[in-house]
Structure 1
Amino acid sequence: MISAQTVRKYSNEFLNIGVDAAAFGMSKAVVAASKDVNSIYWNPAGLVNIKNYQGSIMHAEYFEGIAKYDYAAFAMPIDEKSAVGIAIIRFGVDDILNTTELIDNEGNIDYNRISLFSAADYALNLSYARNLNIEGLNVGLNTKIIRRIIGEFATSWGFGLDAGVQYKKNNYKYGLMVRDITTTYNSWSFDETEFDKIQDAIPDQNQELPESTEITLPKAQIGVARKFNISKDFNLLSELDLNMRFTKTNDIISSDFVSVAPALGFQLDYTDLVYLRAGIGNIQKELQFDATTETSVQPNFGVGFKYKGIQIDYALTNIGSVGAALYSNVFSIKVDFENFR
């Protein structure tokens, strides 16, 4: 194995996609209201609301099915004040054609020399949450182990920490989630034999090794939520979140210190059995071909149904892309095992 010494500042972007179709339907504005197994991702402090075993799975597809995005999680209470959870995420593109050996040493094309490989990113989250002695205040912590694989060409390991807080006062809920709080480092190693094939594939191209160290900078999400009782059978949950990156981006609010993208989500439920969701988020300033700037907004929509501890959710979203990108269908299932005792 060989490695390079340069450093890049952005990595692990697959961890910014999100999980749970219910959250996607609300444009991911859930950091304050999240209170189930999916809090492992959104805000681990919400895990203290779990009263029994809970499990969740999700599947989504990127770029018309080229990339697969999968998630599975499990959480349980330890006692009346604390809970733990574990979740795994995979984002991958499979069956990629490896044509580095398509042409042999004599210049002949041999299609039998084509092989297939996968490029996949994995993340394992281990979560702990606790209710503090201050009424309504919960805290949580995530430990992340990251594994990224590009066929036989390159692999990396990464490690990071997330921290979350939730506070409930009267009819309002407040939430704060800080990801990669200590910065997250990924260290890559490259297979020298495989990399030599890439170097030889195109003359005077790919002559230098990619960066071997990636640093994921901290990000924060802060939100406030409130649930309204519309009538005896109908309730409305609303939440406003601010997604912050501590660097300059194309977000609607942007500076050298911090960039902010607001998100607004709504969930209307009928007797806590049927759900209708909508939201707007990913508000960006897009540079046009004529050098002008336009504001783009990503709308999301979702529905859900719960019966005897099984909740099925669907969201129509393009998972973080705006503009001409095709919309994606996201499905998730959550199971509360208390109903099966």
Structure 2
Amino acid sequence: MNRFSIYLTLCCVFVSLSSRAQFRKYSNEFLNIGAGARGLSMGGAQVAGVADGTAGYWNPAGLVNIKDDPQVNLMHAEYFAGIGKYDFVSVAFPSANNKRIIGITGLRFAVDDIMNTLFLVEPDGTLNYNNIQAFSSADYAFMLSFSQKLKETEKKKVHFGLNAKVIHRNVGKFAKAWGFGLDAGLQIYQGKWRFGVVGRDITSTFNTWSFSFTEREKEVLYLTNNEIPVKSTEMTAPRLVLGVGREFRISKKATLLAETNFDLTFDGKRNTVIIGDPVSVDPKIGLECNFNNVFFLRAGINNFQKALADGDTLNQKKVWIYQPSAGAGFRIQSVTIDYAFTNLANQSNPLFTHVFSLRLDMAGDKNKKKKN
């Protein structure tokens, strides 16, 4: 546990120092949606037990659990009745000796077909609908991951991972941003126990915004009392995610994995279970029942918050709310299909969405020959 303790201490020291800087709260929030129906159905509790290609998102240290063959993961989800579209793709390439792995991940969250009504009204006051044009507001993230085994015995496994990520955001032709950041993670398997830690945005991820408006657009913005934005930099504060899980044998062909994560943010008070300045803590809980590594049932809870009770505007009484999720998975040889039924709001005001993801293990000719 020495390497784990040293790494965790360094992360805590770095984040505590970085918390003194000025950051924009909820910056790059699209990077906190999740990846893969498995992780979403388990409430995002993944950093200790993730062992597939989605680890490039959750904890890059988990990528090294992929062995022998490349793996492809795909996911598409639509939110708010199809207004927001979210896509995830990852490809992982193990080395010949399975001691290290390279992963490539891409994310896109976008709202398309937004109507630009800047020039709807002509100078004479008439409406000209031909002047309406559509544009998209899209956020992109590209991650290059590296994962390596630090120690592996029958009783103990220690894995390390690192992400380098590039962020691109654009709002039509009006605004663009580029950013860069680093994540680092560690996983420890000790018997049936799983431990994980991830330092996200450990270098304080930034977005540098630039804006482009024509003179006519500037004139309309000025006449409608809108500020014309100028170049700016948006900083994302580091965060630390700690995870612990355990696998239980419930029958000869079935196991249960239970995991809890604690998401520590350092950008001031948030509406979470533990509220502090600058540190707030948001817990996540996930369960997965594995039947012979073929069929999976999952459930999770996250995003605990205090809010006013429904209809109680007079007494201002606050109650705990949370986001439940559930899902299932099915594996046929090298193909795994996962499903998640997730809630975007809370248990009292549900906004559920269906999420499907696909995992493909690219078995090569070498493995086919071994089987023969």
1:300 aligns to 2:320 (yes or no): no
* Counterpart residue number, 2:288: 267
Aligned counterpart for 1:315 among listed residues 324, 332, 340: 340
State the distance in 1 between where 2:23 and 2:251 align. Answer: 56
Compare relative contact order (CA 8 Å, sep 6+) and give the higher one, 1 or 2. Answer: 1
SS in 2 for 1:36: coil
Q: Distance in 2 between matches of 1:211 and 1:16?
A: 25
The yes-or-no answer on 1:169 pairing with 2:190 is yes
Unaligned residue ranges in structure 2 (runs of 5+): 1-21
1:81 Cα deviation after fit? 1.3
Post-superposition offset of 1:42: 0.6
Letter in 2 for 1:57: L
Using a 3 Å threshold, how does the CA distance of structure 1 residues 294 and 185 change in structure 2: closer, same or farther?
same
Q: Which residue of 2 aligns with 1:111?
A: 129
State the shift of 1:248 in Å.
1.1
Shift in alpha-carbon separation, 1:116–1:318, aligned structure 2, 3 A: same
Distance in 1, matches of 2:23 and 2:175, equals 16
Corresponding residue of 2:245: 225
Query: What SS does the corresponding residue of 1:254 show, helix, strand or coil?
Result: coil
Structure 1 residues 320 and 23: CA distance shift in structure 2, 3 A: farther
Task: Name the SS of the counterpart of 2:251 in structure 1.
Answer: coil
Distance 1:202 1:286, change over 3 A: farther
Sort the Cα spacing of 1:104 and 1:321 in 2 relative to 1 into closer, same or farther, 3 A: farther
Q: Could you say which residue in structure 2 is the equivalent of 1:3?
A: none
> Does structure 2 retain, via aligned residues, the 8 Å contact 1:56–1:332?
yes
Aligned partner of 1:152 in structure 2 is 173
Q: Does structure 1 residue 69 correspond to structure 2 residue 90?
A: no
SS of the equivalent of 2:264 reads strand
Q: Distance in 2 between matches of 1:321 and 1:215?
A: 29
AA aligned opposite 1:60: A
Closer, same or farther: CA 36–225 of 1 in aligned 2, 3 Å? same
State the match for 2:15 in structure 1. Answer: none
Aligned residues: 335
Q: Which one has the bigger helix percentage?
A: 2
Per-residue Cα deviation, 1:17-48 (whole angstroms, up to 9, x for no partner): 01000111111111100011110001000111
Gap change, CA 1:170 and 1:7, over 3 Å in 2: closer
Contact 1:162/1:177 (8 A) holds in 2 = yes
Change (3 A) 1:292 1:197: farther
C-alpha spacing 1:320/1:120, structure 2 compared with 1 (3 Å): farther
Are 2:306 and 2:318, in contact at CA under 8 Å, matched by a contact in 1? Answer: yes
**Aligned partners of 1:89 and 1:331: how far apart in 2?**
15
Residue among 207, 210, 214 paired with 2:227: 207
Q: Secondary structure at the match of 1:192?
A: coil
Contact 1:199 1:207 in 2 (8 A): no
Q: Percent identity?
A: 44
TM (norm. structure 2) is: 0.85
Matches of 2:320 and 2:49, distance apart in 1: 28
Alpha carbons of 1:104 and 1:98: their partners in 2 closer, same or farther (altered >3 Å)?
same
Pair 1:326 & 2:351 matched = yes
Q: Kindly state the Cα deviation for residue 328 of structure 1 after the two structures are TM-superposed.
A: 0.9
CA distance in 2 between counterparts of 1:202 and 1:267 reads 55
Deviations 1:206-265, CA, capped at 9 Å, x for gaps: 124267211111112111111111111111111111111112100011111311111111
Q: Is the 8 A contact 1:168 1:174 kept in 2?
A: yes
Residue in structure 1 matched with residue 8 of structure 2 by the alignment: none
Tell me the CA shift for residue 312 of structure 1. 0.4
CA contact (8 A) 2:210 2:231 kept: no
What's the offset of the Cα at 1:309?
0.9
Corresponding residue to 2:261 among 229, 241, 248 = 241
Checking the alignment, whether the CA contact within 8 Å between 1:252 and 1:295 is kept in structure 2 is: no
